[in-house]
A and B are shown apart, each in its own frame.
Chain A
Amino acid sequence: MEEKKQNPIKKFLSARGVGQVVTVLIGLVILCAVFNVINPNFLRQRNVANLLRQIAPWIIIGIGQGYVLITANIDLSIGSVVGMSCMIIATLICNGAHPVPAVLVALVASLATGAVNGTLVANFKLPPFVATLGTQTICRGVAQLVNNNMNTDGITGAKFGAAAKAMTNFFYYNKTLGIFNTFWIALVLWAIFNFVLAYTRTGRHLYAVGSNTEAAKLSGVNVSLTILKAYMVSSFCAFVLGLVVCAQTGTGTTNAGMSYETYAVAASVIGGISTMGGTGILSGVLVGASVWAVMDNGLQMIGTQVGLKNVVVGLIVIGCVLLDVVRRTGRLGKRKS
């Protein structure tokens, strides 16, 4: 048999998840161009800086949800963990704690939630939808309980007000190299978790578990531990966003992060991470999060109503999932036999 040499471009596009990312990236560029034609302020430096900061939250939680989706599970507790993390930090600071221990407490609470999610799904075999819906409600409850169901006062007016001020500046208001820190934080998280997913044994096992749990098990992969790790990463990312939200508003709000888990799914799915597991790359989350933020920002700039954005983005998400189903099974409405 003769040696088959593949076209290098074709090969690049057929590598894991790259195809969808490139497709969506092209769509994103077109989208930006259209918005810029309608309102030339769209791509001015000032708006781009804002845009990058608006992308950051969806990157952060998109990473977490992406990890869980790749293992063919889902995490619905993300939004509540964002809220819980934000409320714990703000309440502790307002009650006279230094921001550092406040943040650490929030971190511990968030990771504990991830551990519970992972254990319920991987060890107790609960359907991930139900298990994380439960923790979603619990975490929202905790967010409400910590300050007697009230939003907190401003954290900069508390005992360690100066430290709190420094925290809000660092995580939200300051820029480094002309770009808001929030975006850099998202980018660093992305770089770390992209590395783990693409180049380490853990990453390989995440894909294997999502692709074929039985095969992974028979090959000696610790399936439970792998799923646990995915949920821990997801909760960690939600914690980081809780911190960012707290820095942004300067207070703790009990409904912070409400329905963010859906946005996290959207960012992942638009970027080509399948809800059926086993496929997608974290670069997709960068693109998916951008589509989300660009729609948000762009539609606002051309003066449409808020509701329209939700309608449009919802349609995009459904479209992306349909595409994914068609690609996997070859057609719509027929089960794979």
Chain B
Amino acid sequence: MEQYKGQTIVELEHINKSFPGVKALDDVHFHLRSGEVMALLGENGAGKSTLMKVLSGVYQKDSGTIRIFGETVENMNPKRAQEMGVAIIHQELNMCQHLTVAENMFLGREKKKGLVLSQREMNVEAGKILKSLAIDLDPTTMVGSLKVSMQQMVEIAKALSTNARILIMDEPTSALTEKEIEEMFRIIRQLRDEGKGIVYISHRLEELQHIVDRVTIMRDGRYITEGNFADMDMSTIIANMVGREIKEKFPRVHCEKGKKIFEVKHLNAGRMVRDVSFSSYEGEILGFAGLMGAGRTETTRAIFGVDPKESGQFFLDGKEIKINKPMDAIRQGVVLAPEDRKRDGLCTKLSIRSNIELPNLDISSNRVGVVNRRKVTQMVAKAKENFSIKMPNDEVDAGSLSGGNQQKLVVGKWLARDSRVVIFDEPTRGIDVAAKVEIYNLMNQLKQQGISVIFVSSEMPEVLGIADHIIVMCDGRITGELDIGEATQEKILELATRFENKIATGAAGA
């Protein structure tokens, strides 16, 4: 595609896209030239993935113009996008583990003679493409037996086998090792030099210097700016990414910081929880900030005993406690309101009453296991009153409550049993502003009662607005702690993107 080199090959103008209740894209512009790597940057939820899904036809735009190679495309769909040379390398791998490399590459576009598949021809063709990328891989290998990094290379090879000229890579390096990242960059540079246009989405900001030519920044579904990477410094990029003012009101309650309640020492659990140590105090909300996939959810799961840990100690009120399974944690008073409340937090098809009853059966039933209905009724009444859960009666399905009320129910069921430490993992995700404020008030209420509140959130403004002390994680490690007085969005983002420097800086632009 030599004639396109340096020309604008993708033009997205005035793109709007709404989902029920949310404006995901608001008058967005995006331009991509051939032979360049364009970084698309923004915080979680800025609209990067939505924009790329509009470009690749997964989503339909509400309004705006899509021009590819100068041709205006009105009704984009995945098939049309593929024909025009647009290919997405998905963040989550989309490979058939039981098929070979070549079979995956040609899936849906198999070559055949008459009725019979031309296996050999496809293997040869796949081999050629892999070879052109200098990937040493036998096309008859089962994909399931390959490492994640290699599967990703196969995805790229698959995209190229469809003659893709516009490649969208969504966090391609998130699961790769240093060596594999270098290999990935080598391939990206090769494709760029062949004149392909590459959109590169990544949260690893220091990675950009190695491959990126230009940058487009989005925030809150809007286009903010674009420019040559060389003309921007990191602080400008970060400032543009977080530049929004804090819109919501955060009800802050001041409490005296009291004694230490809960302490975690040297917790290790897999790659995403590495040597995590922290303490939480009475009268304090401890915020956990970071990007998605920083290891915060994994940390909460390891503390709660859901996932196995390799090492680590827990101390509650100065005494060491052992937690090997959730029941241990619950008995000692350490409880978790999980990230996905519909999946992990509640039995949505059971009644409100049953949901409150379930984790407390040990204290509401007698020795033979017969449940004392009166005790349960008291618990339900207590939860309803303490957290003003709005419900027609306690026999309706938990799933029928609004998001905010579901969250209160999750907390309510735990506080029926005098818990000491309550961990909230992304408690405000997917609920409206009014319900959010209720959750904040709920956390404040717990804080005033002297319960240790641990608050995990990817939304920086709410962490800044509610927490008293902030721990920032990146890549499974704690990369910093900030007192609320000194914390700013810029500082948090800087800590949240402090990945272990996997590549020596000297290799820039090679």
Contact = CB atoms under 8 A, between A and B. Distances in A.
Interface string A168-203: 000000000000000000000000000000011101
Nearest to A277: B98
B78 A16 contact: no
Interface range on chain A (Cβ under 8 Å from partner) = 20 to 34
Given A204-B110, A216-B108, A199 B96 contact: no
B99 A200 contact: no
B98 A215 contact: no
B96 A212 contact: yes
Interface residues of B, number: 24
A278 interface: yes
B95 A204 contact: no
Given A208-B107, A221-B107, A200 B97 contact: no
A256 to B, nearest CB: 35
Interface in B43-88: 78-79, 82
A220 B109 contact: yes
A211 B99 contact: yes
B79 A212 contact: no
A204 B116 CA distance: 11
B136 interface: yes
A244 B14 CA distance: 67
Nearest to B78: A218
Given A4-B138, A204-B110, A216 B116 contact: no
Given A212-B95, A214-B94, A219 B107 contact: yes
Contacts of A4: 138
A310 to B, nearest CB: 32
Contacts of A199: 115-117, 119
Contacts of B94: 212, 214-215, 218-219
A290 interface: no
B78 A207 contact: no
A210 interface: yes
B103 interface: yes
A279 interface: yes
A16 B98 contact: yes
Nearest to B97: A211
Contact of A201 (B95, B97, B117, B142): B117
B100 to A, nearest CB: 8
B244 interface: no
Given A200-B116, A203-B117, 10 more contacts: A14-B142, A199-B117, A201-B117, A216-B107, A218-B94, A219-B94, A220-B79, A220-B108, A221-B108, A278-B96
9 closest Cβ pairs, A-B complex: A220-B108, A278-B98, A211-B96, A219-B108, A215-B94, A219-B107, A211-B98, A212-B96, A1-B136
